[in-house]
Structure 1
Amino acid sequence: MTSNFLEIDGSVLEGGGQILRNAIALSIVCNVPINISNIRKGRSTSGLRPQHLSGVTLVKNISNASVSNATIGSEQLTFTPSQIIGGKYEIDTRTAGSVALLLQVALPVCYFACGPITLSLKGGTNCEMAPQIDFLTEVFRPNLEKFGATFNFDLIRRGYFPKGGGHISVTLESVNFFKPVNLCDQGTVQEIFGWAFVAGSLPVQIAHDMANGAIQKFKQKFPNLNINIERYKEDGRVAQGNCSGIILVCTTSTGCVLGGSSLGNRKESSEVSGFKAADEILEALKDGGCVDKYVQDMLIIFMALAKGKSKIQVGEITLHTKTAIYVAEKMTKAKFNVKNIGNNTNIIECEGIGKENSQKNY
């Protein structure tokens, strides 16, 4: 490649789509042309899949970028961004590809646009190997708001594996910059709530079993805490296909918001799905985390771009977080420091680069 392209190796650490998403988002925000090689080399089917190509196309359009080799199966592409333009953008994975992952790659970009942006995203809303869209809105979004950014969300239709067909609309305003955050005091648990759902031909008893399983787990640790988990069947007019799942939210006295989630699985009882979702929260709480293991890696980009020093107390550092840190340091030159303060408790520190929105129309 020519010398003005920053080289990114897509096979390092997690070796999946996360490197692609984070690198392209930061390429646009920091205006750094990149060449990504070995895309998804760590996966059984390497290269770009329809899900990833949809994400590349979406942010290519938002940033008026020049892209080469963006085809299904490609293990290498170049990406040269331009100006981030406000407006309305649509993308359809035409599969059950996760709209939550589309949103993950687009959000950091959109906040540095010259004006408001509306995203119309079609695909899967509640999928394996990706955050359920409800997790992004109810758990990730409150943590994002600590950086001074948010988004409005409208669920038009749910879509599940294998057909997809889901549709969401997201609107947001650009920011001047991201504020640094300090989340190092877990506090005490104040409330646990959530939703257990079924869709299609599945009986609502599955939702009850998921919710009851989660409550059983929580009551072992918090016997006197009021836990409210709504159980329901999705309206057939807004849900495509069969699916079941649970999304849980835990809030603390210091404003921490942690989450857990699980989708129904034919290979396990519905009660076990509820156990798993609850365990994600309980594990984070036990390790002193102020965010759960999934939000942990989602915040790395915002820490790197923030104006000032951010500190977040977490549990064990996940491979996705290590990967996000690797990409953020390579793309932005921000420096991260991980301090172990005992057992599985760690503090992630980052002196952000203070990226300002030079395109915003004030």
Structure 2
Amino acid sequence: MDAKGFVEIDGSFLEGGGQALRNALSLSCILGKPVRVVKIRANRPKPGLSHQHLHGVNLLRDICNADVVGNSLLSTELEFSPRAILGNTYRVETHTAASITLIYQMALPVLLFAGRPSRLFVSGGTNVAFAPQVEYMQQVLLPNLKPFGASFDLKVQQYGFYPRGKGSCQLDVQPVAKLDAGQFLDFGHLQSVSGVAFTAGRLPMSIAIDMQRTAQREIHRHWPNEKCSIQAVKHSPEKAHDNGAGILMTAITSGGCVLGAASLGEKRVDGNVLGSETSGQLAQYLRKEICVDEHMQDQLIIYMALAVGLSRMRTGPLTKHTRTAIHVAEQLTGVKFDVAVESGGHTIVTCEGLGQRNEML
């Protein structure tokens, strides 16, 4: 902490993208600690705050009535001094395909520590590259937060894709008195695989069916006796204005693990390739019997750091996003994460949480 009371976070550390900024500001709001984030997104082709990050910063400013210096487009340094968290109804209009889920990722932990329920409307991209798809947030993040005693309700009003966005969602958050420790160690055995393969706009339903059939065939090849049900959907013009395609697959195990894998169609969409890639990724998790998939790792770190008691997760190799999230959490909360790599390739991440209490309730 410097002479002015700021905890300084180096945004170029490891992943060098938006992860350090998002986690630093969320923890700043919850802990009431001023932060200075420097070298923001230093490892990206266009360093500094993008539209999506700027909208997230300004949203947290409003939620915490914070004093902010440096909240302008492409700014590489930001000072953020929060006050009390205010549960309320908030709206963010990005006017781009900025990721709705990454904006929610910043706000959700903060709103859990508000004094009353909150509702957050965000417009932008529901299914865009380099961000969790909205279905992943609904089907994978939500059940993975339940062990912590946290929950939310997410409704999609309109789907939005790159480049125009125009999607819109409503997130409802109930505050918690505290977060319980989460245990993600018992894989058990595979119980079922479900999912959705979708197309929208001018992309034909046949692409969704190709994704569905290929994904189901791949899973049944490895697990012929397990249930695998992928729904093929063509979004109506009322639900989605523009062209888009993607697939999310979710696996549930007897140990309570919920693992996800997703792919998004680019310009030339091949449903068979998307279905094969996604089912292949999910099958890899299942064969290794990990309890937390690689895209969920980093999202759980902030909850582990704040929880009451010892949280543990069994996952694969840690991503740069996860190691960045651990670094930021340790700097701001003072907790320590233990990372142990087992002989079979599993990584066990352990953290005795801060035991943060919601002073607003």
In the alignment, what sits opposite 2:155? 154
C-alpha contact (below 8 Å) 1:288/1:315 kept by paired residues: no
Q: Distance in 1 between matches of 2:49 and 2:333?
A: 24
In the alignment, what sits opposite 2:51? 50
In the alignment, what sits opposite 1:122? 123
Q: Distance in 2 between matches of 1:331 and 1:277?
A: 35
C-alpha contact (below 8 Å) 1:265/1:273 kept by paired residues: no
Q: Distance in 1 between matches of 2:3 and 2:74?
A: 23
Q: How many residues align?
A: 360
C-alpha contact (below 8 Å) 1:164/1:240 kept by paired residues: no
Q: CA deviation at 1:288?
A: 2.6
Q: Distance in 1 between matches of 2:355 and 2:154?
A: 27
In the alignment, what sits opposite 2:12? 11
User: What percentage of residue pairs aligned between the two structures are identical?
Assistant: 40
In the alignment, what sits opposite 1:322? 323
SS in 2 for 1:342: coil
In the alignment, what sits opposite 2:108? 107
Q: Pairwise CA RMSD of aligned residues?
A: 1.1
In the alignment, what sits opposite 1:312? 313
Moved over 6 A (4+): none
Q: Distance in 1 between matches of 2:277 and 2:336?
A: 34
C-alpha contact (below 8 Å) 1:287/1:314 kept by paired residues: no
Q: Distance in 2 between matches of 1:130 and 1:103?
A: 11
Q: Distance in 2 between matches of 1:12 and 1:296?
A: 18
Q: What is the 5 A alignment of 1:273-284?
A: 273-284=274-285
Q: What is the 5 A alignment of 1:171-210?
A: 171-210=172-211
Q: Distance in 1 between matches of 2:4 and 2:290?
A: 41
Q: CA deviation at 1:211?
A: 1.3
Q: CA deviation at 1:220?
A: 2.4
C-alpha contact (below 8 Å) 2:147/2:183 kept by paired residues: no
Q: CA deviation at 1:267?
A: 4.9
Q: CA deviation at 1:224?
A: 1.9
1:233 equivalent in alignment to 2:234: yes
C-alpha contact (below 8 Å) 1:280/1:292 kept by paired residues: no
Q: What is the 5 A alignment of 1:53-68?
A: 53-68=54-69
Q: What's the TM-score once normalised by structure 1's chain length? A: 0.97
In the alignment, what sits opposite 1:137? 138
Q: What's the TM-score once normalised by structure 2's chain length? A: 0.98
Q: Distance in 2 between matches of 1:265 and 1:67?
A: 37
Q: Distance in 2 between matches of 1:87 and 1:144?
A: 22
Q: Distance in 2 between matches of 1:266 and 1:95?
A: 18
C-alpha contact (below 8 Å) 1:184/1:313 kept by paired residues: yes
Q: Distance in 2 between matches of 1:216 and 1:267?
A: 23
Q: 1:146 to 1:134 in 2, by over 3 A?
A: same
Which region of structure 1 is more displaced relative to structure 2, 129-138 or 1-10? Answer: 1-10
Gaps spanning 5+ residues in structure 2: where? none
In the alignment, what sits opposite 2:244? 243
